[in-house]
Amino acid sequence: MNLTADQLYDILKEYGIPFAQKITATSLQEALEAANKLHYPVVMKISSPDISHKTDIGGIILDLNSDEEIKRAYLTMIDSVKKKAPEARIDGVIIQEMAKSGIEVIVGVKLDPQFGHVIMFGLGGIFVEVYKDVSFRVTPIDRETARDMILEIKASSILQGARGQEPADIDAIIKVITGLSHMLQKNPDIIELDINPLIVYSHGVTAVDARVLTL
Amino acid sequence: MTLKAIFEPGSIAIIGASSTPGKWGNILLKNLLSNGFKGPVYPVNPKEKTILGTVCYPSVLDIPDPVDMALIAVPRSHALTVAKECGIKGVQGIIMVTAGFSETGDKGREPEKKLMEIIDRYKMRLVGPNTLGVVNAHIGMNASIISRLPEPGGISFITQSGTLGLALVDWTMEMGIGLHIVVSTGNKSNIDDVDLLTYLASDPKTDVIAMYVEGINRGREFIKVAKEISKPILVVKSGRTRSGSKAVFSHTGSMAGADEVYSAAFKQAGIIRVDNIENLFDSALALSVQPAPNGNRVGILSNGGGASIIASDACERMGLIVPALQDDTKQKIREYIPEFASARNPIDSAGLSTYDVYNGMVKQMLLDPNIDALIVIYVDTIVNDAALPAQAIVDIHRGKCNKPIITCWMGGAGTRPGVDILEKGGLPNYPVPERAVIALKSLVQHNGFLEKVKV
């Protein structure tokens, strides 16, 4: 079974993980309607069950501010994806509200052969890729354990309000982790999952993108 | 069924006993006979009448009396037959030294499966196969190829590597560390880590469980069982280096190497993971003789400044705090040390190491509410006597003392008289400050687990 992005978002929402609102559009007209409904600025992403790395093939365009920009982005994206991934099926494009900037974190899942599902937490971008500053826990994870794993990373001071910044909403991240932990108990066939980025504000969080691999 | 038949048997058959010196069947029999095990030992070998002066039986079925445990060291081709005979005889536990099972790959899997069928059918339990044996130092049972029986003590040791583990047992004897159960787990096809933790948790002679682990099979049960054990569990897990991570689907997939997951699991299970073998036994020693501290604030005192600064630096690196003492404490300590010496933590007595000076300093520091644990250092010089400060601490420790004390007597052979006193007095002593700090860190970690993780 392979979940589409929409199905995955719906499942995660059920477990209290908030996603940036989005609408799938199957034509330029629908894309325009969606953008106006969600209010500018918006993000456009290619919707395809066959594409996992959207950025590499021009499948994500950020910060679109007008109907004119939507039109241009739509044509450019369809053209680019058809050229760079000719085999991929295209369902249309996803129009998503552009999340405000905040602290980007990643929350992920891996199925370990000895211990079952483990959840990973880390700060996004170079903190994960270069410094490998992440923490892990075996599920099920309660609130206390979730807090421990958030505070365990070396860069956790950034979340606690380093350099006069307002502290990030750690309780909201805890809810995402424990919600994910509950979700995994009902979905044993998930092998890997990334919620990346999850944007953390001083109040609340918004998940912007997620991907999943199932058995 | 309990594992008592294996770890505390009343009677033992050694199947595959040999009269040829150097053969495993000979070494094992010799070890069983020469270490004070009180129960009967029955050599089994169809070709011999007596071995090492002990009556030998053609088969386990010919032994007239009941047999609790069988130590099997026959060639693999005979192993299944012999195991079945044990089942018929009513033997409850087997230690299967014989190798050539699943550790050899596909060709060994089928015979191992058949062996397990026999074990299950007769409701026996089995250590191994491919184990180097089991030791119980308190009952003088050396059912292993270890050359000497360790001193009896409170540490039980589970090792997945037979040769490494057994070499270490010899080394612990040099270190003056006492052991209780030593078990080389072999292939873990019947008795595994979860079974062993469960057994050792309720074993009254085991105070601390030390493990050398390469991999664990029942991960979730392992965490669950370990969480319920309040005795300290220490582990060295090999395979820390990441094998080149291959292209994977997600970020999480590429970051979550097996080792990271083990570290997380140990944390959740309340198991202290240490970096190496030396840390394992250093920490086990401290945990077996000292109480867990209430916090991570360390008082350090020494007769020389350098060593106490090294200890203080090491504490800071490892997340332990070296706090300021209360004014009252400092004032009282000044009565024991020269005017120019430092009464600030870490305390330096400027060379003095008499009984009274150490006794006074240690007593005052223990009374200070800012201090959870002590590291007492002595640096040996030609003008000092290593025994005097050692005796001072042992005398304090013998009284009521609920804060842990770790000692570090530095300086080679000259410290021996002091070290002997410390070891006999139940103080964990180390030759360098860093090792003392690592041991103390494990005590602090265990206390944290008792408060937060253990159920």
pLDDT of B306 over the 60 cut: yes
The span from the CA of A87 to the CA of A76, in Å, is 18
Q: Considering its fold, how many domains does chain B have in total?
A: 3
Task: Give yes or no: residues B307 and B430 share one domain.
Answer: yes
- pLDDT for position B65: 97
The residue ranges of chain A whose pLDDT is under 70 are 1-2
Whether residue B188 is found in the same domain as residue B108: no
Q: How is residue B198 written in tokens?
A: 């469960």
CA distance B263 to chain A (A): 8
CA distance B333 to B339: 11
What residues of B are in contact with residue A137 (Cβ under 8 Å)?
264, 267-268
**Which DSSP symbol is given to B149?**
P
d(CA B348, CA B303) in angstroms, rounded, equals: 5
Q: Do B188 and B273 lie in a common domain?
A: yes
Identify all chain A residues contacting B256, using CB atoms and an 8 Å cutoff.
108, 110, 112, 118, 120, 136
Q: B68 in a domain, yes or no?
A: yes
Pairing state between β A92-97 and A22-25: antiparallel
Q: pLDDT, tens digit, for every residue of B60-109?
A: 999 999 999 999 999 999 999 999 999 999 999 999 999 999 999 999 99
Shortest distance between the Cα of A15 and any Cα of chain B, in A, equals 20
Compute the nearest-CA separation of A35 from chain B (Å).
Answer: 29
B392 and B437 share a domain?
Answer: yes
Where would I find the H helices in B345-432?
355-367, 387-398, 416-424
The reply to whether residue B261 touches residue A194, judged by beta carbons under 8 angstroms, is no
| Domain-embedded: residue B172 | yes
Residue B66 inside a domain? The answer is: yes
CB-based contact A118 B261, cutoff 8 Å:
yes
Q: How far is A106 from chain B (nearest CA, A)?
A: 9
Q: What is the mean pLDDT of residues B19-24?
A: 95
The CATH number of whichever domain residue B379 belongs to comes to 3.40.50.261
Q: Does any CB of chain A come closer than 8 Å to the CB of residue B249? A: yes
Whether the pLDDT of residue B1 is over 70: the answer is: no
The CATH number assigned to the domain holding B43 equals 3.40.50.720
User: For residue B405, what is the enclosing H or E element?
Assistant: strand B405-410
Q: Is the dihedral of CA B233, B239, B245, B249 positive or negative?
A: negative
DSSP state letter for A114: T
Sign of dihedral through CA atoms B442, B448, B453, B455?
A: positive
Question: In this structure, is residue B202 part of a structural domain?
Answer: yes
Read off the pLDDT of each residue in B40-60 and give the average, rounded to a whole number: 97
Task: Determine the Cα–Cα distance for residues B369 and B297; give it in Å rounded to an integer.
Answer: 10
On whether any CB of chain B is under 8 Å from the CB of A193, the answer is yes
Do the Cβ atoms of A110 and B249 come within 8 Å?
Answer: no
Is B451 near chain A, with CB under 8 Å?
no
Structure confidence by residue, pLDDT tens digits, B329-372:
999 999 999 988 888 999 999 999 999 999 999 999 999 999 99
Q: Which of B289, B320, B336 is the last residue of a domain?
A: B289
Residues B158 and B278 placed together within one structural domain of the fold: yes
Residues B82 and B172 in one domain: no
Give me the residues paired with residue B43 across strands.
B14
Mean pLDDT, chain B, whole residue set = 94
Q: What is the pTM of this model?
A: 0.91
Q: How confident is the model at residue B390 (pLDDT cuts 50, 70, 90)?
A: very high
Please check the confidence at residue B223 and state whether its pLDDT lies above 60.
Answer: yes
Give the pairing type, strands A205-207 and A190-200. Answer: antiparallel
Mean pLDDT of the B390-398 span: 93
Do B408 and B316 have their domain in common? Answer: yes
Sequence-distant (≥ 6) Cβ neighbours of residue B146 within 8 angstroms? B31, B133, B135, B166, B169, B170, B182
B245 touches chain A (CB under 8 A): no
A211 touches chain B (CB under 8 A): yes
Domain boundary pick from B239, B255, B289: B289
Please judge whether B251 and A132 are an interchain contact, meaning their C-beta atoms are less than 8 angstroms apart. Answer: no
Shortest CA distance from A191: residue in chain B: B253
pLDDT band at B245 (very low <50, low <70, confident <90, very high): very low
Dihedral, CA of residue B427, residue B431, residue B432 and residue B436, to nearest 10: -20
Q: List all residues 6 or more positions away from A136 whose beta carbon is below 8 Å from its beta carbon.
A: A118, A119, A120, A121, A149, B256, B260, B261, B263, B264
> What number of other Cβ atoms are within 10 A of residue B7's Cβ?
26
Of B220, B249, B255, the CB nearest to A115: B220
Of B249, B256, B258, the CB nearest to A120: B256
Residue B143 lies in a domain: no
In the DSSP assignment, the letter for residue B104 is G
SS3 state of residue B344: coil
Residues B304 and B441 in one domain: yes
- Please tell me which of the candidates A122, A128, A138 has its beta carbon nearest to residue B223: A138
pLDDT number for residue B247: 53
Q: What is the pLDDT of residue B244?
A: 42
**CA pair distance B314, B371, nearest whole angstrom:** 17
Find the mean pLDDT for residues B182-197. 97
Q: Which residues of A touch B160 (CB under 8 A)?
A: none
Q: Which domains does chain A have, with CATH numbers?
A: 21-97 (3.30.1490.20), 103-214 (3.30.470.20)
Question: Domain range holding B257?
Answer: 153-289
**Residue that is last in its domain, among B289, B310, B342:** B289
Query: Would residue B144 count as lying in a domain?
Result: no
Query: Is there a single domain that holds both residue B27 and residue B121?
Result: yes
Cβ contact B301:B381 at 8 Å = no
Give the chain B residue whose CA is nearest to the CA of A110: B253
Asked if residue B338 belongs to a domain, the reply is: yes
DSSP state of A166: P
Q: Is the pLDDT of residue B231 over 90?
A: yes
Q: Are residues B71 and B187 in the same domain?
A: no
B263/B316 same-domain check: no
Residue B329 and residue B261 share a domain: no
ipTM of this predicted complex?
A: 0.85
Closest CA to B424 of B393, B401, B381, B385: B393
